[in-house]
Amino acid sequence: MILEEFTKVTGYHRKHAIRVLTTPITSEPKIRAVRRVYSEAVKEAWIVLWEASDRICGQRLKALLPQLLGAMERHGHLQLEEGIRARLLAMSAATIDRQLHLVGEQACGRRKKRSSTTNRVRKLVAVRRFADWEEQLPPGYLEIDLVTHCGPRLEGSFVHTLVLTDIVSGWTECIALPVGEQALIVEAITGLRPKLPFPLLGLDTDNDSAFLNDTLWNYCQEHGIVFTRAGLIARMIRRG
């Protein structure tokens, strides 16, 4: 009778109600792991450093930080207390990405829902992080990105620049596009290949749907081009 009354009052399933009633109550409080909270001064410093580094990902920013921080302090662009400076240098790359997550969304707008095609191609394209690049990599592996010349808002019509940079040599090509459309991107890459001083071996993109689509995927497969994409931070940040 007690069990039936308990299930009526709580709405619990009978088996769950039995478990609740038979579980002994302990007075000892649960100990939770202390989550590290960073002050506003640390967050503001990260934003300044992130913008100064052209919004690179956490892994690259972590590696660049000692040199970048020292240069900005020498030139008077940033003055930090010793405690804040120590906390910045102690941060891991994953923590940097988490700290900049909301900043990236505010700077570039909320992420749009990906289409089923984009999600399918994302599963086909391998993720290549900063640490995955080999030291003895030959020229021909290019990072590509779209720069939108739209000002502070993604509204109306505006031109794009397709930027391709060789990982090893730093050789950079810039191609103007009227729109960031997949067929135009493939056409631009096709026209650029004969002009490069080395064969095109690989393309590494962000997670923009302008790159993660059947058109570019099929093109890379047909021409033996290694197609990879960036990791976490690039999924939410587009340079503007």
* pLDDT for 107 beyond 70: no
Distance from the Cα of residue 101 to its chain's centroid: 8
Pick the last residue of a domain from 92, 108, 124: 108
* pLDDT for 135 beyond 80: no
Q: Phi, psi (5° rounding) for residue 6? A: -65, -45
Q: What share of the chain is helix, strand, coil (3-state, %, to 5)?
A: 45, 15, 40
122 and 217 share one domain: yes
Domain of 150, CATH number, reads: 3.30.420.10
100 and 130 share one domain: no
**Residue 142, domain extent:** 116-235
Low-confidence winner among 16-30, 103-117, 195-209 (lowest mean pLDDT): 103-117
Low-confidence winner among 46-50, 53-57, 61-65, 226-230 (lowest mean pLDDT): 53-57
59 and 121 share one domain: no
Characterize 4-35 residue by residue with b for buried, 16 or more Cβ atoms within 10 angstroms of its Cβ, and e for exposed: eeebeeeebeeeebeeeeeeeeeeeeeeeeee
Dihedral over Cα of 147, 150, 151, 154: its sign: negative
* pLDDT for 118 beyond 80: no
Class of residue 74 by CB neighbours under 10 A (exposed 0-12, middle 13-18, buried 19+):
exposed
> What is the tens place of the pLDDT at every residue in 165-184?
998 899 999 999 988 889 99
pLDDT of residue 28: 61
Query: How many domains is the chain built from?
Result: 2
Q: Is residue 35 part of a domain?
A: no
55 and 128 share one domain: no
pLDDT of residue 239: 40
> What is the tens place of the pLDDT at every residue in 37-60?
567 777 788 788 887 887 777 788
By DSSP bridging, strand 226-229 and strand 172-177 are unpaired
Q: Is residue 208 part of a domain?
A: yes
Pick the last residue of a domain from 108, 132, 165: 108
pLDDT band at 26 (very low <50, low <70, confident <90, very high): low
Question: What is the Cα–Cα distance from 74 to 71, expressed in whole angstroms?
Answer: 5
Dihedral over alpha carbons 148, 152, 154, 156 (to 10 degrees): -100
The tokens of 183 are what? Answer: 């067929």
Q: Return the beta strands (E) in the chain as ranges.
A: 126-127, 141-148, 160-166, 172-177, 202-205, 226-229
The mean pLDDT value of the chain amounts to 80
Class of residue 160 by CB neighbours under 10 A (exposed 0-12, middle 13-18, buried 19+):
buried
172 and 229 share one domain: yes
> What is the tens place of the pLDDT at every residue in 125-134?
888 766 666 6
Pick the last residue of a domain from 84, 108, 132: 108
Residue % of the chain over a pLDDT of 90:
26
82 and 182 share one domain: no
pLDDT of residue 233: 41
Q: Is residue 164 part of a domain?
A: yes
